[in-house]
Amino acid sequence: MQYKVVPFTANLSHQDQAPQAASQLEKVIDQYSSQGWEYVRLESVDTYITANTGCFGIGAKPAANISISMIVFRKP
């Protein structure tokens, strides 16, 4: 079995967020389905981004925990 994992982030406006997210997810699933991939599930991957100290503190960014959505597909 072959798997493909694709990052997914919905681009939403302030109104009708759930329908917008569902529509965008459906489009990605349809795109990969037309290439022979079967949708398996939507996964959430939690990760830690280390701090960036910048140069002499300029442009420094703090560490952060983030969650990334990934769409899992498979081909038999």
> How far apart (Å, rounded) are the C-alpha atoms in residues 8 and 27?
11
Neighbouring C-beta atoms of residue 73, cutoff 10 Å: 20
What pLDDT is attached to residue 50?
85
What pLDDT is attached to residue 73?
98
Which parts of the chain sit beneath pLDDT 50?
Answer: none
What pLDDT is attached to residue 55?
73
What is the pTM (predicted TM-score) of this model? Answer: 0.77
> How far apart (Å, rounded) are the C-alpha atoms in residues 42 and 66?
16
Residue labelled with tokens 């406006």: 13
